Amino acid sequence: MARGSRSVGSSSSKWRYCNPSYYLKRPKRLALLFIVFVCVSFVFWDRQTLVREHQVEISELQKEVTDLKNLVDDLNNKQGGTSGKTDLGRKATKSSKDVLDDPIDIERREKVKEAMLHAWGSYEKYAWGQDELQPQSKNGVNSFGGLGATLIDSLDTLYIMGLNEQFQKAREWVANSLDFNKDYEASVFETTIRVVGGLLSAYDLSGDKVFLDKAIEIADRLLPAWNTPTGIPYNIINLSHGRAHNPSWTGGESILADSGTEQLEFIVLSQRTGDLKYQQKVENVIAQLNKTFPDDGLLPIYINPHSGAAGYSPITFGAMGDSFYEYLLKVWIQGNKTSSIKHYRDMWEKSMKGLSSLIRRSTPSSFTYICEKNGGSLTDKMDELACFAPGMIALGSFGYSAADDSQKFLSLAEELAWTCYNFYQSTPTKLAGENYFFHSGQDMSVGTSWNILRPETVESLFYLWRLTGNKTYQEWGWNIFQAFEKNSRIESGYVGLKDVNSGVKDNMMQSFFLAETLKYFYLLFSPSSVISLDEWVFNTEAHPLRIVTRHEEGLVKNLNEKQKPFSRIGGRKEGRSG
């Protein structure tokens, strides 16, 4: 119905009931009372109609004001970038479909916060300071060398949710108990995305320099890993002695995702300290890979750190390949999309052409999925890990210059998200298995049937909700959250499932459940101004890092001064565990 139209009668016809002659044959008192009643009713009806109309007009004016504010912000960014306190009134420029915080979202967000409190409280009670909690046996385990992985992974989640008491207690542990001098063979990748990323995010959010100091300390211990003939890093390093090597099972090769998923964190560290050495190490990796980057932008999962040559190995957007492609896009976003980092975007767009060549659709239901490639053959298999791709593609779709390309990739993202949601819906527990196979006439079937509380599908639902405003993605996310509550929550935390068909539980609460899964659930039901996609970019462990404009010289300025804190709302990976 057009604005200003009426659903019943016309203005002139309805007012005839207000004419006293209409009631001459009725008792006088009754007639007068009836006149008053009818007239007041029509006045009230007209007032309500006008209010509704004005609400629509106000909403449209607010949208126009928001668009103007975003335009001004964009102009300011082009003149040198912004930093400091986030304005909670600012909307994401990717979508003007942001809506007011509604009661259902508030209720769901509070339930997610309560889930975080349950997970954190269990960790605090049974595994404080250790890497991860084993909820069934009620003890901690140091699966990452005793670096407090869950605690550091949770810092920004606690801060964003407004859990101040818990955040401050964790902060004191970081300041007084976190020790990196460990005789431990650490994954450079895992330590970077969880520990370096977690500390930098806590710094960007709170402005507390203790987090930056600790990030510098652990990053310096990781730097010897890049001392190879090509600068492509070894993936394992002893934190105490600084000796680096690759795992034996790779045949001495470096892993693509492990070598191409430190760029965000180390570039940000250079920006915050003014010391270029971190940025130079990780950007050299991309420069080396770009020398022989194929036209389809697809690289095998093994890279020789001595020659830089890609080995004969699978190509996948799942385990050991995934986050390399993610960081090509996100480094470009984190640098505010300037010309100095355009080669990242160019490489990513090539990779999206390659991804398109791996797309197939199942029968009979036409689920869209991403194949894996080995040599000239394709395998109809997709990891749940690859369910980060719908969110990445949606995020990148807004950077295409051609509207047709933008719409094509956004549509692909939506199709893939539907498939990933059905990874969950297709099992008795409504939780997804680790990977799926597609067979002609049979659609999808679970391959490896465990679920370890992974976040990738929820991550993509978050991006698609933010970028399209389509509440369907919130509903899908809520269904998945309820399935976690039903199947994974126990008295002493959250556990994964050994089998999504039987529902048999395991004994591990992965650190990324608090860092990623619960954070993305919380943001899925938060206003778009909370960790705005205009101001923040998420690393692959869901740690938000501030966007800072990159110029040709590489750095905006030394950002080592005390950060202004972020204002809160009221209150990948590989065949690995993360």
Residue with tokens 């395998």: 379
Express each pLDDT in 528-554 by its tens digit.
999 999 999 999 999 999 999 988 655
pLDDT of res. 306? 96
Give the phi and the psi of residue 455 in degrees, each rounded to 5: -105, -5
Q: What tens digit of pLDDT does each residue of 130-163 get?
A: 999 999 999 999 999 999 999 999 999 999 999 9
Which of these, 288, 497, 276, 463, lies nearest to 388 by C-alpha position? 463
Residues β-bridged to residue 321? none
Which tens digit of pLDDT belongs to each residue from 209-264? 999 999 999 999 999 999 999 999 999 999 999 999 999 999 999 999 999 999 99
pLDDT over 90 (residue 115)? yes
- Taking the C-alpha atoms of residue 44 and residue 74, their distance in angstroms, rounded to an integer, is 45
Task: Report pLDDT for 24.
Answer: 45
**Whole-number percent of the chain with pLDDT over 90:** 76
Does 448 show up as a binding residue in the annotation? no
Specify the range with the lowest mean pLDDT, choosing from 218-232, 451-465, 488-502, 559-573. 559-573
**Residues 221, 196 contacting (CB under 8 angstroms):** no
Alpha helices, DSSP H, located in 430-490: 456-468, 472-487
**Average pLDDT over the chain, rounded to an integer:** 85
pLDDT higher than threshold 80 for residue 100: no
Residue of 40 and 408 predicted with greater confidence: 408
Catalytic residue of the set 132, 153, 190, 535: 190
How far is residue 199's CA from residue 521's CA, in Å, rounded to a whole number? 21
Q: Which of 208, 434, 535, 541 is an active site residue?
A: 434
| CB-CB contact of 193 with 265 (8 Å) | yes
Q: Judge whether 260 and 327 are in contact, CB under 8 Å.
A: yes
* pLDDT score of 553: 54
Q: Would you state the pLDDT for residue 551?
A: 80
Average pLDDT over residues 360-370: 98
322 annotated active-site: yes
Q: Quick one: pLDDT band at residue 270, thresholds 50, 70, 90?
A: very high
Return the sign of the alpha-carbon dihedral for residues 296, 299, 305, 307: negative
Buried (b) or exposed (e) across 374-384, using 16+ Cβ within 10 A?
eeeeeeebbbb
pLDDT above 60 (res 8): no
Quick one: pLDDT band at residue 566, thresholds 50, 70, 90? low
pLDDT at 311: 80
Q: Is 456 a residue of the active site?
A: yes
For 469, list phi and psi in degrees, rounded to 5: 75, 5
**Which tokens belong to 533?**
């996609």
Could you report the per-residue pLDDT of 46-70, keeping only the tens digit for each? Answer: 444 443 344 444 444 444 544 444 4
Place of tokens 């009631």: 23
Residue 130 to residue 176: CA distance in whole angstroms? 14
Q: Return the higher-pLDDT residue of 135 and 91.
A: 135
Count the residues in the chain: 578
In 150-253, at which residue ranges do the beta strands (DSSP E only) sit? 185-187, 236-238, 244-245
pLDDT band for 71, please (50, 70, 90 cuts).
very low
Q: Which two tokens stand for residue 274?
A: 């003014």
pLDDT at 520: 98
Q: Is 295 exposed, middle or buried (0-12, 13-18, 19+ CB in 10 A)?
A: exposed
Reported confidence tier of residue 171, pLDDT bands at 50, 70, 90: very high
Give 568's pLDDT tier (boundaries 50, 70, 90). low
What is the arithmetic mean of pLDDT over 388-402?
Answer: 96
The 10s digit of each residue's pLDDT in 276-311 is: 999 999 999 999 999 999 999 999 999 999 999 988
Catalytic residue among 131, 153, 156, 456: 456
Phi and psi, residue 377, nearest 5°: -110, 150
pLDDT higher than 90, residue 433: yes
Q: pTM of the predicted model, to two decimals? A: 0.82
What are the domain boundaries of the chain? 105-546
SS3 269: helix
CA distance 199 to 154: 10
CB 423 within 8 A of CB 434: no
| Predicted local confidence at residue 432, as pLDDT | 98
Q: Are 344 and 286 in contact (CB under 8 A)?
A: yes
Cα separation values, 174 from 122, 151, 195, 265, Å: 19, 9, 11, 19
Cis peptide before 214 (omega within 30 of 0): no
- Of 303-312, 420-429, 432-441, 491-500, the range with the lowest mean pLDDT is 303-312
Mean pLDDT for the stretch of residues 88-115:
71
* pLDDT (mean) for 444-460: 98
How many other C-beta atoms are found inside a 10 Å radius of the C-beta of residue 410? 21
Q: Does residue 434 carry a catalytic annotation? A: yes
Are the C-beta atoms of 466 and 96 separated by less than 8 Å?
Answer: no
Helix H, strand E, coil C: the string for 496-526 is CECCCCCCCECCCECHHHHHHHHHHHHHHCC
- For residue 310, the 8-state DSSP code is B
Residue with tokens 């209150």: 571
Q: Which two tokens stand for residue 473?
A: 């993605």
Among residues 105, 132, 265, 322, the one annotated as catalytic is 322
The pLDDT of residue 564 is 55
105-546, CATH topology level: Glycosyltransferase (1.50.10)
How many other β-carbons are positioned within 10 Å of the β-carbon of residue 356? 14
**Residue corresponding to tokens 């971190």:** 278
